[in-house]
């Protein structure tokens, strides 16, 4: 339990790095690299918790809820980065994604003083957004005690949302406040309190794992391909064509025609190339909640 006057693990001075500024460049870089490897390794112990959180989140989001990321400072920027990648990579609907960072958008590029201390603003943000039982909220804080983030998680838990807390300090209040706590104990930083280093790396790895597993479970990945990608530029249109060709074995002309009929949607194009018309293809995907594998397996002659 963190008590008054006791520093979170991420704020402590590490004896290992006390002479960091006296070392030569090669030694500094080697030591920092070593610390990054340790941060990634620390995530392994949290894999069961990540899996449990993703399963609960998938079940709730299948009901049409929103995915909400919350954080302050470094943790907030890491949260925003992960969330912002979901629409272009997995076609996650923008109206079902919320990115809350203490201090607002200005905090993405500069420090907003005292924003992380405003528990009142965190609670108000949850109320204003109407967070409720259909939603999933992920809160990140290296110390696990950031007032803004903690208030958001507590308010969302009270509102019935699935809440996930990611922290790097054992005994953090955030881990108690969230329904699904994920502790990655990265310990003291090479530069005391600079949580963009070990803690930040571990948080990004956790979010990479969580959000990817979540999108897989929601049917947005098939045979290792991002089959819900938004083909909005030339590179992605070519990628969509390659995916459909790989998944169906059809010739390029047929693939392009199917993608045109499907408005660029890979999963729909794949089903169209099984001989269905668009209404039937859309109905099949809908019946299988967008899961391309089960939709294809349900067709006669498919296994």
Q: Which residues belong to the active site?
A: 85, 116
How far apart (Å, rounded) are the C-alpha atoms in residues 240 and 76? 32
- CA separation, residue 103 to residues 32, 77, 80, 111, 289 (Å): 30, 11, 13, 8, 37
Tokens standing for residue 188? 């003291």
How far apart (Å, rounded) are the C-alpha atoms in residues 279 and 292? 16
Q: First and final CA of the chain: distance in angstroms?
A: 53
Residue with tokens 């030591």: 31
Torsion of CA 168, 171, 172, 178, to 10 degrees: 100
Residue 106's region, left for phi above 0, alpha for psi from -120 to 50, else beta, is: alpha
Collect contacts of 42-46 with beta carbons under 8 A, ≥24 apart.
42/184, 42/185, 42/186, 42/198, 42/202, 43/184, 43/202, 43/205, 43/206, 43/209, 45/184, 45/185, 46/182, 46/183, 46/184, 46/206
How far apart (Å, rounded) are the C-alpha atoms in residues 153 and 71? 10
Cross-strand bridge partners of residue 166: 140, 182
For 222, which DSSP code?
B
22: exposed, middle or buried (Cβ count in 10 Å: 0-12, 13-18, 19+): exposed
């Amino acid at each position: 339990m963190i008590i008054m006057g006791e520093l979170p693990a991420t704020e402590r001075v590490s004896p290992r790095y006390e002479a960091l500024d006296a070392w030569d460049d090669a030694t500094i870089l080697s030591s920092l690299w070593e610390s990054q490897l340790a941060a990634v390794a620390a995530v392994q112990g949290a894999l069961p918790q990540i899996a449990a959180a993703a399963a609960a989140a998938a079940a709730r989001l299948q009901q049409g809820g929103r995915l909400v990321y919350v954080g302050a400072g470094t943790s907030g920027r890491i949260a925003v980065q992960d969330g912002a990648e979901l629409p272009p990579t997995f076609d996650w609907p923008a109206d079902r994604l919320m990115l809350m960072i203490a201090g607002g958008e200005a905090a993405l590029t500069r420090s907003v003083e005292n924003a992380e201390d405003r528990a009142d603003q965190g609670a108000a943000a949850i109320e204003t957004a109407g967070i409720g039982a259909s939603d999933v909220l992920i809160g990140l804080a290296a110390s696990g005690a950031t007032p803004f983030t903690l208030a958001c998680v507590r308010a969302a838990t009270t509102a019935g949302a699935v809440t996930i807390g990611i922290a790097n300090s054992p005994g953090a209040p955030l881990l108690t406040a969230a329904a699904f706590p994920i502790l990655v104990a990265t310990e003291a930083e090479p530069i005391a309190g600079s949580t963009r280093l070990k803690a930040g790396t571990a948080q990004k790895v956790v979010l990479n794992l969580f959000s990817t597993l979540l999108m897989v479970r929601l049917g947005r990945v098939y045979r290792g391909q991002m089959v819900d990608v938004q083909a909005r530029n030339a590179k992605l249109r070519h990628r969509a064509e390659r995916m459909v060709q790989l998944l169906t074995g059809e010739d390029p002309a047929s693939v392009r025609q199917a993608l045109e009929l499907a408005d660029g949607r890979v999963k729909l194009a794949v089903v169209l190339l099984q001989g269905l018309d668009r209404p039937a293809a859309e109905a099949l995907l809908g019946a299988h909640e967008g899961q391309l594998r089960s939709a294809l397996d349900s067709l006669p002659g498919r296994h």
